[in-house]
């Protein structure tokens, strides 16, 4: 089958084609099998989504069309649930490290959450609800040196929180 581990697929190919198990042959066959396996596209998609989520939540700001990138992320999450899990892992990581100079991580992560709730798959509602306590904590975010930034984070967190509490707004 196509979902069998790569080593098993390669060893079966070696036996069927009566190819010697020399290191060069093993590498060549492994590369051929990996390139013809359709699941590689899913792995590439997960990595792309993870990189995009990291870029969208970066302190540097996203270079490119931010709204289009958010829409692309939501579309990728709708196409594959594994992508949603990877994106959510990045979002929770960014929210957890949004202290001090990293405050933008939390703000941008909240923007992704809001976009996923409004335009992503239904599973996003469940994923975001799992982190309701983190979102609730962000509604009370404070930063003595950046009061305006703290206000932005509280506002964004309140928007996400209200979407989760009043689910009718999502449909």
What backbone torsions phi and psi does residue 62 show, to the nearest 5 degrees?
-85, 130
* Chain center to CA of 49: 5
Does the pTM surpass 0.85? The reply is no
Q: In which residue are the tokens 């931010």 written?
A: 66
Distance from C-alpha of 77 to C-alpha of 50, rounded to nearest angstrom:
11
* Chain center to CA of 97: 16
Span 92-115, mean pLDDT? Answer: 95
Q: Choose between 26 and 156: higher pLDDT.
A: 156
Distance from C-alpha of 53 to C-alpha of 47, rounded to nearest angstrom:
10
DSSP letter (8 states) at residue 66: H
> How many CA atoms within 13 Å lie on the side-chain side of 92?
13
Tokens of 1: 């089958």
- What confidence score (pLDDT) does residue 159 get? 98
- Asked whether the predicted pLDDT for residue 97 surpasses 80, the reply is yes
pLDDT band at 39; cut points 50, 70, 90: low
Tokens of 109: 């992560």
Distance from C-alpha of 99 to C-alpha of 49, rounded to nearest angstrom:
24
- What confidence score (pLDDT) does residue 34 get? 75
- Asked whether the predicted pLDDT for residue 114 surpasses 70, the reply is yes
- Asked whether the predicted pLDDT for residue 38 surpasses 80, the reply is no
- Asked whether the predicted pLDDT for residue 127 surpasses 60, the reply is yes
């Amino acid at each position: 089958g196509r979902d069998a581990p790569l080593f098993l697929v390669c060893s079966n190919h070696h036996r069927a084609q009566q190819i010697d198990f020399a290191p060069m042959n093993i590498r060549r066959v492994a590369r051929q099998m990996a390139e013809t396996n359709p699941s590689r596209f899913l792995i590439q998609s997960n990595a792309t989504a993870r990189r995009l989520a990291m870029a969208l939540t970066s302190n540097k700001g996203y270079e490119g069309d931010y709204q289009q990138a958010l829409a692309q992320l939501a579309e990728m999450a709708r196409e594959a649930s594994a992508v949603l899990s990877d994106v959510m892992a990045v979002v929770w990581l960014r929210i957890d490290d949004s202290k001090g100079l990293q405050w933008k991580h939390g703000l941008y992560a909240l923007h992704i959450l809001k976009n996923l709730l409004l335009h992503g798959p239904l599973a996003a509602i469940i994923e975001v609800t799992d982190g309701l306590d983190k979102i609730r904590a962000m509604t009370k975010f404070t930063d003595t040196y950046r009061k305006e930034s703290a206000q932005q984070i509280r506002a964004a967190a309140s928007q996400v929180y209200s979407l989760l509490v009043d689910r009718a707004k999502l449909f």
